[in-house]
């Protein structure tokens, strides 16, 4: 059994993960529109991973005999300008998600829920990787400036991302 406070932050985290999936899908659609199919693919793969993140929390709440409470998912932003601006938004969003995950960790400590504290470690590590991935693309995009050939090369590189499915069990 989990406490109501821990259950609430976990449910709220499910919502944030599904919102993340929506946000990445909106970005994927933008990249498709401007013909950057590798960027589009990369963000679409990320959207699938975000759904996995939400589902892992979903399954965990059930396994702990808690109650899953799904809330409305906000519409994602859709006014994007260019790849650099999109990846800066990604980094900003992932920093926000990191803070939220840290709050789940600290709430589970406050409630002496060591199982949740242990469970959430996977997300803490995942967030380090997600922020680093966004930062890496930002660095490259800043380096290339308006150079089309390098952008094309990066597009090809992002196309090679593969989807790794994650599940609770
Ligand atoms: Fe689920 O990590 Fe991104 O948002």
> What are 56-99's pLDDT values in tens digits?
999 999 999 999 999 999 999 989 999 999 999 999 999 999 99
Q: Which residue has the CA at smallest separation from atom 3 of ligand 1?
A: 94
Q: Ligand 1 centre from 16 Cα, in Å?
A: 8
Domain locations in the chain as residue ranges: 4-159
Query: Is 53 near ligand 1, meaning CB less than 6 Å away?
Result: yes
Nearest CA to 61 out of 118, 11, 5, 113 is that of: 11
Nearest CA to 168 out of 48, 16, 60 is that of: 60
- % of the chain with per-residue pLDDT over 70: 100
Query: Is 113 near ligand 1, meaning CB less than 6 Å away?
Result: no
Condensed to tens digits (0 to 9), the pLDDT of residues 22-43 reads 999 999 999 999 999 999 999 9
Query: Is 97 near ligand 1, meaning CB less than 6 Å away?
Result: yes
* Topology, domain 4-159: Ferritin (1.20.1260)
The pLDDT, as a whole number, for residue 168 is 84
């Amino acid at each position: 059994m989990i406490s109501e406070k821990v259950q609430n932050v976990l449910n709220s985290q499910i919502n944030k993960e599904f919102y993340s999936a929506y946000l990445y899908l909106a970005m994927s659609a933008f990249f498709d529109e401007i013909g950057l199919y590798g960027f589009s693919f990369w963000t679409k793969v990320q959207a699938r991973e975000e759904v996995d993140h939400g589902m892992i929390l979903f399954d965990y709440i059930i396994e702990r005999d808690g109650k899953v409470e799904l809330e409305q998912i906000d519409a994602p932003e859709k006014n994007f300008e260019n790849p650099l601006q999109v990846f800066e938004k990604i980094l900003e969003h992932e920093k926000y998600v990191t803070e939220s995950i840290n709050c789940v960790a600290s709430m589970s400590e406050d409630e002496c829920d060591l199982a949740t504290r242990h469970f959430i470690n996977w997300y803490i590590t995942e967030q380090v990787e997600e922020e680093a991935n966004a930062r890496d693309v930002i660095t490259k995009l800043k380096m290339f400036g308006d150079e089309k050939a390098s952008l094309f090369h990066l597009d090809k590189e992002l196309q090679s991302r593969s989807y790794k499915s994650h599940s609770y069990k």
